[in-house]
Structure 1
Amino acid sequence: MPVKGKRIAVVLKGYPRLSETFIAQELLALERCGLPLEIWSLRRPTDRARHPMHAAIRAPAAYLPEYLHEAPLRVLRGLAAALTRPRLPALLALFARDLWRDPTASRLRRLGQALVLARELPAEVAHIHVHFLHTPASVARYAALLTRRRWSFSAHAKDIWTTPAWELTEKLRDAAWGVTCTRDGLARLESLAPGRTRLAYHGLDLARFPAPPPPREPRDGTDPDAPLRLVCVGRLVAKKGHDDLIDALAALPPDLHWRLELIGDGELRGALEARIRERDLSKRVAFRGALAQPAVIAAMRASDLFVLPTKPAPGGDRDGLPNVLMEAASQALPILATAFAGTPEFITDGTHGILVAPGDPAALAAALARLAADPALRLRLGAAARVRLVEDFSEAAAVALIAEALRASAGLPPPVVATEPELAACAS
């Protein structure tokens, strides 16, 4: 159980979110380690469903005003409180430098949110930890400076690759410490501020997942009554590569029978639906929308192949190591993905899955045809991915690293492990 007294504030862009299972599982694991947390979110939830993990997390959640005009009294109270703080001149000097380089309404909003956070944080909060180095870290950094607290970060993907170098560098130097979840991202951050960030793969808590299903039927797409079952899980945004997947499927031989379930929602849904109609694939592709984790796992268990062709988005956004790859591996589901970002850190091509070049629908189509025709290869790849997950991507090591750093930063006493779940989550 969490200790009484000092607490840790965790700042998030939005909470809870279906697409951020890695954050929910980390929060739950940290609580099992005995860390007393409270959640501060820049946005209210927009997803209709929630993962079971969200119900298990005990930390209270508070919401900052997403738009300052929606809560003028909270903002004014935050400003009035800031006027009494000795560190206000230092904050205004920092903010002025940031605003000169980034003269946007978003920058002003982050200052307002930080003033609210600084005023409303309980005195018991001894440390601030933030997920993502872009806008959430700006709020955490400003509030920490104003209130004389230390702050730390978990960097992931978009925040690493779309935040300007000057901003990343300054945040890295100001933070007490930080972690990131791929070697790809770590190399980027190390190039800007060496020695400030450590590697902590998310991994999975396999206790939350069922054992893999019995060996799947050896479907090869030759029987129209037993089509190959494909599944793709990811937000419908450019970096997930759904457009390449649709083009690859359209290029498959007409006598190869398959069905695809697309799980996820996002800004590109309309465009992707139109693309599917243009290629006459509507009867073969089903949009399932955003689903809670149990429904995602059920879909994986019923599928023959998991496909995720991630690639760089036009604005520079990119994935880290998608957790859905590890979730697929938990069910011994063979994986077809792209050799991009953090994916090759988990999957070795030809051993744990098949990797193709990002942004290459022809290569993706060839790999799909190859895997469709070879159920034995799929079986071998799925089994190897499961072994890779169990042996090298346990959640425990990352949780132990983060929990130890948070405990030290917040001045919390050593852990007292009371239960088996806590022991498993905190084991190093």
Structure 2
Amino acid sequence: MQSKKRIGYILSLKGGVPSFNYREIEAVVEMGFQVHIFPTKVSQGLYMPKESWPVHRPSMVRAGASMFYWLFRRPRTFLRMAGEALADRAIPELGLAAQFSREMVREKIEVIHCHFADRKMFTAYFSSSLAGIPFTVTVHSHELIFYADRKLFKKALDRASKLVTVCDYNRRVLIEGMHVPPEKVETIRLEVPLEQFKQDDRMKVLTVAKFHDYKGYDILIEAARKMKDEPVVFWIVGDGPVDVKGMASDLIKAGNVQLLGSVNEDLLRILYQACDVFCLPSKTAPSGQKEGLPVSIMEAMAYSKPVVSTSHAGIPELVESIVVPEGDPESIALGLRTYMLDPELRRNEGKRNRARVEKMHGPENLGKLAAVFESAH
């Protein structure tokens, strides 16, 4: 693909790259543009720049040195920018711009694009003025409320080559309320990745357990691997010493397994309701450690979910339907496949499980505990 222009993206990476920015940059790079990222802030988040996207991190040392560079390189322009920055409390943005613009010139950036017309646009405005590079900006919404009275806001809008906004309402505000020429403002709606947001019809298998060896995660992951080409996804809730992430790295990458970490009670209830089957392939650990009767199995059954588990410790006392030998991923996969192929069986077993929990784990058990307390002497 023929290389297109070099684009310098100014955006905040506080908490990583916003998901919509990440998708946009991916698409822009696929179209042949070369993207360099100039972040105003940086911290870890869910989406981080790909290794192939050069990131020019802010540096107080480089910013300070670059301010002197532009003072001697373009004194009149820099002093004018400094005056505007002082008047509108934007010295930090000028410092960032001094560094970024110098690096943009070195990297032969041809267009600066800024996401959000807030203080990041001030950085883009200063960078454009110092380096002589045109800039564009995507305007969302809060900027039109909280920054409209800033002098730099109007100056930046005037200097921008093009204003992109996410809806026609914002376009009208810019044209009618801020007197931006109509030909300068274009509505470009954010892309929704429809392939990612379509209904997932795969059977959802939930496991809730600490990452300990007696929970049988090695068996679960091997069963998931045996089913990797079938319409099933494994949701895993928990944390602990066993390296489940490393164990399932290929399946996580392929989307067959999703590690959800530790979750609060509200989210856990949602997951219990959303899953189709609960699976816990407990086994005796090499150290001899065993389960008793896992609470998560009781909870899943209380939510009318069918269960696939093992004949380990006290589990068969509660689970009657699909109980397989310990340490047998093939049998776990077979049990899950049985439910995958028969939704009506899933529903019926779920109802039976609810009734069984009501019978065996009702409030009368607390009365029995009270009787134990009373009889102690």
Q: TM-score if structure 2 supplies the norm length? A: 0.49
State the structure with more CA Rg: 2
RCO greater where, 1 or 2, for CA within 8 Å and sep 6 or more? 1
Q: TM-score if structure 1 supplies the norm length? A: 0.44
